[in-house]
Chains A and B, each alone.
Chain A
Amino acid sequence: MKQDWKWSLVNITEHLYDGIPLTIYNNDDQKKKPLIYFFHGFTGNKDANIMGRGEVLANMGFYVVAIDAYLHGKRMSDLEKIRSNVDKYEDIIEIVMHTAKDAKRLYHKYFKYEPNVLDDHYYLYGVSMGSLTAFYLSTIDPYVKAMAGLVCTPSFVDYYKDKASMYGFNQGFFYERKLDYYKAHDPLNHIDQLKKVKIFMGVGTKDQVVKPIYAETLKEMVPEVILNHYDTGHVSTTDMLNDSYQFLEGVKNSGNHR
């Protein structure tokens, strides 16, 4: 279950660990390097939505692992394929939490033992729903050193309520139970953990899919996080990408890993 090809100097390989499809981008320079996870957005997948970032990050000196989110990409069962996206959206927080726990387990079970991967810290890069995965993972694993979130949200409860209103989620028992559960795990309710992670957030001022207000709330609570606004909608612009790379490069070169 391994497929290899070359893109410039970067080796790109597909793997299946614990039944989870992964694509690894690694500049084969024999150096020991930090791992960075790439988390895609809702309805996306690890390969179509990375859009060149895997090669860029690998050439920056990261060991890049792109992961199909739970119920997404090659992890989509026949049952999931026929669910409507609105129905699936009702489970977006569960998708985020499951994927974050997968990533944490895979790092501690496999990746930190790879000879060219540093074993004392790792990084996260997430877009849209993938950013929420990164925020949540930052609160459950002290090994996360830094994360970049584009068109991002760190909120479970308020974000979910907004989506429920927008898409007309089913109300009642399950909705109420979900909200109660999310409160206990919402990254915005675990600020002490987020303060230990270096955070870059890029948001679009015209974004109506993931509104900037959630990132702005985190900025108010933790002023040291970086929050950049861009004149765009729910799109990763070139400036946003370049700023995120510059941030990661800066953290990576700062030393003092943990």
Chain B
Amino acid sequence: MEIIVRKRHIDGIPVSIYETDTPDEKPVIFSFHGFSGYKDGDYFKREDALARLGFIVIGLDTILHGERRIDIYNQLSESDKMKDINTMIIQSAEDAVMLYEKYIKYMPRVKKDALYAIGVSMGGAISIYMSTIYNLKKAVSIVGSPSMVEFYKWKKEKNGWADDTYYQRNLDYLKAFDPVLNAENIKCPLFLTGGLRDETIPYQFVEMLKKDNVTIKLYDTPHMPNQAQFDDAYQFLTEEGN
């Protein structure tokens, strides 16, 4: 089965669309990359795999990432960039909803009311947050944190950030968006993975989201996930029910 990849620049957002060269209607899945990554850089080729499973896969560069990088931001240290990670998460989910509502749902071969999301690390967090603002069918996070507030506090300690106004204002602002604190807004089944040896996003953050329709599975891995996590995610996305 041949995979067609279309790359476009939609509303200033670089987008890659993957699908099989078949005329049937397909569900759409957004695939979100991790912090400092870009839309076509997945080591596990998940966009290709998801397209073969029958999805139209939409990859987009998160703001300040990939082809949306800007010089003034590139000059910051990784630690300083990390201070804005939740802003990027929220913006990317909003970008995805806007692109879907404005264009994608009207595109040919797009199955009605069948939108999914998947992402790795920061991309997983985007996927989880998106499930709080849009009626997805299912969402997957591979080694991502559903927590914004507690995760941000932990990042402060780990990176030695100052307890300054910028930090405090972000912390306060995130309370209204944090999927753990606003879990009632999640209306679809979620599948979350965590790595037992993950020191970048410790699995304890993954476990903070306790809800009937949330399935959590931990693996003996560091922050780099293994193929089993993707295989389990693909099974979750394609099986009926949940």
A contact set with B: CB distance below 8 Å: 1, 16-19, 21, 70-71, 74-80, 83, 91, 94-95, 98, 109-110, 113, 173-174, 177-178, 181
Contact = CB atoms under 8 A, between A and B. Distances in A.
A140 B184 CA distance: 26
Nearest to B86: A18
A21 B11 contact: no
A177 B11 CA distance: 12
Contacts of A21: 72
B103 to A, nearest CB: 5
A21 B71 CA distance: 11
A74 B71 contact: yes
Interface in B35-70: 63-64, 67-70
Given A19-B87, A76-B70, A181 B173 contact: no
B12 A80 contact: yes
B214 to A, nearest CB: 28
A79 B67 contact: yes
Contacts of A173: 103, 106-107
Contacts of A77: 67-70
B7 to A, nearest CB: 11
A79 B14 contact: yes
Contacts of B166: 17, 110
Given A94-B12, A109-B173, A177 B103 contact: yes
B174 to A, nearest CB: 10
B11 A91 contact: yes
A113 B71 contact: no
A143 to B, nearest CB: 16
A75 B64 CA distance: 9
B158 interface: no
Contact of B84 (A18, A75, A78, A113): A18
B161 to A, nearest CB: 14
B31 to A, nearest CB: 20
Contacts of B169: 109-110, 113
B1 interface: no
Nearest to B64: A19
Interface string B86-129: 01100000000000001100110000000000000000000000
A75 B84 CA distance: 15
B73 interface: yes
B129 to A, nearest CB: 15
A109 B170 CA distance: 7
Nearest to B103: A177
B10 interface: yes
Nearest to A176: B106
Contacts of A98: 12
A177 to B, nearest CB: 5
A80 B64 CA distance: 13
A19 B65 CA distance: 11
Contacts of A18: 84, 87
B36 to A, nearest CB: 14
A116 to B, nearest CB: 13
Given A1-B76, A77-B70, A79-B67, A71 B12 contact: yes
A174 B76 CA distance: 36
B6 interface: no
A71 B80 CA distance: 21
A19 B84 contact: yes
Nearest to A95: B12
Given A113-B169, A174-B103, A16 B10 contact: no
Nearest to A79: B67
B176 to A, nearest CB: 10
Given A19-B63, A173-B106, A181-B102, 6 more contacts: A21-B72, A75-B70, A78-B67, A83-B9, A110-B165, A178-B102
Q: Which of B12, B87, B107, B169 has the most CB of A within 10 A?
A: B12
Nearest to A110: B169
A178 B106 CA distance: 12
Interface in B6-44: 9-12, 14
A104 B73 CA distance: 21
